[in-house]
């Protein structure tokens, strides 16, 4: 009888100890998980600080673009004033593009090849294909007023007899091909007067100027023969027309 009672007591003690162990382990793990979750989260003060930094950064970027736009608009107005009051405006000077008034310069047609390029002293316009054309396009940053202006081009061909054309385009997308120029193998200045264009195009708002070419041949027999050609452009000056009528 005594042995039986003793055995039952030991069983009860073991079960109680086991229950205490399970309870301690379960509640300890639950408590530790909660603490871990709290530690891994971002404190509220840090979230506020990050939001403030992001807001200030966005405000600074916005302010930068606003100031940049204002300064660019002011500079454009200054360039317009200088253009209107200058007797000579050099759009191309020794092959160098005047970026104050020219927004974009590119080769067009078959001039889009490795042999057409803007060098330090002149621009090379090369057309390697027969029965084709090549050109240079100048897009202006703002509409130019050419109502009392003329254009002086310094250019030459390779063998002489090459033919070039100049085209103006206004803000209403009307284009006018001015005249054909037959080039020499030496540098020459071609004066292009615009007084007769007022009925064909809006000279007060010109947004693009192009120089195009497509034929070569120095002799009468070769004139206008469709062959490959290369011409060179050194200067393009926009000057005031003193005797404008």
148 inside domain:
yes
CATH of the domain at 224: 2.60.120.260
**CA distances (Å), origin 127, targets 30, 68, 117, 137:** 82, 40, 12, 15
- Provide the residue range defining the domain that includes 139: 88-240
Tens of pLDDT along 173-231? 999 988 788 899 999 999 999 887 878 899 999 999 999 887 554 444 444 555 678 89
Structure tokens at 133: 């054309």
17 inside domain:
no
Residue at token pair 């660019």:
72
For the cut 80, the answer to whether the pLDDT of residue 35 exceeds it is no
**By the 8 A CB rule, do 194 and 239 touch?**
no
Instruction: State the average pLDDT over residues 130-147.
Output: 88
68 inside domain:
no
177 inside domain:
yes
164 inside domain:
yes
211 inside domain:
yes
Instruction: State the average pLDDT over residues 9-37.
Output: 53
185 inside domain:
yes
10 inside domain:
no
Q: Quote the number of domains for the chain.
A: 1
Q: Distance (Å, rounded) from C-alpha 60 to C-alpha 47?
A: 20
Q: Distance (Å, rounded) from C-alpha 134 to C-alpha 113?
A: 10
């Amino acid at each position: 009888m005594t042995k039986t009672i003793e055995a039952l007591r030991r069983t009860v003690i073991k079960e109680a100890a086991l229950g205490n162990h399970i309870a301690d382990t379960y509640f300890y793990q639950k408590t530790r998980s909660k603490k871990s979750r709290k530690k891994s989260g971002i404190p509220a003060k840090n979230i506020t600080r990050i939001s403030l930094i992001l807001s200030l950064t966005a405000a600074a970027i916005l302010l930068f673009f606003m100031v940049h736009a204002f300064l660019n608009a002011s500079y454009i107005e200054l360039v317009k004033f200088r253009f209107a009051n200058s007797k000579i405006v050099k759009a191309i000077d020794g092959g160098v593009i005047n970026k104050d008034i020219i927004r974009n310069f590119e080769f067009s047609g078959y001039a889009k090849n490795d042999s057409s390029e803007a060098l330090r002293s002149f621009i090379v316009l090369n057309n390697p294909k027969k029965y084709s054309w090549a050109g240079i396009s100048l897009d202006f940053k703002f509409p130019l007023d050419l109502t009392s202006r003329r254009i002086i081009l310094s250019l030459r061909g390779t063998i002489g007899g090459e033919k070039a054309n100049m085209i103006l385009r206004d803000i209403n997308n009307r284009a006018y091909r001015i005249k054909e120029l037959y080039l020499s193998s030496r540098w020459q200045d071609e004066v292009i007067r615009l007084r007769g264009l007022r009925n064909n195009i809006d000279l007060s708002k010109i947004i693009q100027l192009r120089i195009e070419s497509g034929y070569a041949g120095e002799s009468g027999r070769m004139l206008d023969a469709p062959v490959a050609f290369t011409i060179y452009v050194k200067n393009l000056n926009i000057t005031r027309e003193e005797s404008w009528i």
